[in-house]
A and B are shown apart, each in its own frame.
Chain A
Amino acid sequence: DQQVKQNSPSLSVQEGRISILNCDYTNSMFDYFLWYKKYPAEGPTFLISISSIKDKNEDGRFTVFLNKSAKHLSLHIVPSQPGDSAVYFCAASAGAQKLVFGQGTRLTINP
């Protein structure tokens, strides 16, 4: 049972444009959501997070939106840069320490 789903395995975006990565979840007990970025041969790196009591969190070029009624969150990157090319994982936790991850979306930024 996949509680966190990223339905797009890959996404290609032109440099300078907006990248939108999507994530859906099924467990209504999730109260904290995170996005991690992963380069090859490295561990995931924390990018941005949001608590379930908020619907938006912004950090520089990165914004995460949470729609609790739809059990959906998205990560917006604007403007996209070549260094943003990586695999992005959505993760969630339910009042506990362990994170439940989605399958990941490979983002490619084209010059």
Chain B
Amino acid sequence: GAGVSQTPSNKVTEKGKYVELRCDPISGHTALYWYRQSLGQGPEFLIYFQGTGAADDSGLPNDRFFAVRPEGSVSTLKIQRTERGDSAVYLCASSLTGGTGVEQYFGPGTRLTVT
């Protein structure tokens, strides 16, 4: 079946602009996660959704970052007033349920470049 998909695959934007990154999880997966991977580093947790609600947003770096999942399926990560330091690969993952020990399936990521 289809895996996690993310669009766009690449996004180049100017400093100060607003961007939206989209994630389509595996059908039926109730849990959805956003991570950010900077060059030479491992993925870093941003936010976790269980259904429509953000169960843990402790990884969002500041209030310029916001994410929604209004119908409990597709999620959008929104970044306002982008800065060059926001440049990274943004990864989305989903799992059948939330909880420890449940495998997270990752999408290919969106590479964001802020010029």
Contact = CB atoms under 8 A, between A and B. Distances in A.
B108 A43 contact: yes
Interface string B95-115: 100111111111111000000
B45 interface: yes
Contact of A99 (B45, B50, B55, B107): B45
Interface string A78-104: 000000000001010101111111111
Interface residues of B, number: 31
Contacts of A100: 45
A95 B100 contact: yes
Contacts of A4: 42
A51 interface: yes
A46 B91 CA distance: 14
Given A42-B108, A89-B43, A104-B42, A98 B93 contact: no
Interface residues of A, number: 27
B56 A32 contact: no
A44 interface: yes
Interface string A28-65: 00011010100001111110010100000000000000
B79 interface: no
Interface of B: 4, 31, 33, 35, 40-45, 48, 50, 55-56, 58-59, 91, 93, 95, 98-109
Given A43-B107, A96-B56, A101-B35, 4 more contacts: A32-B100, A36-B106, A44-B106, A97-B33
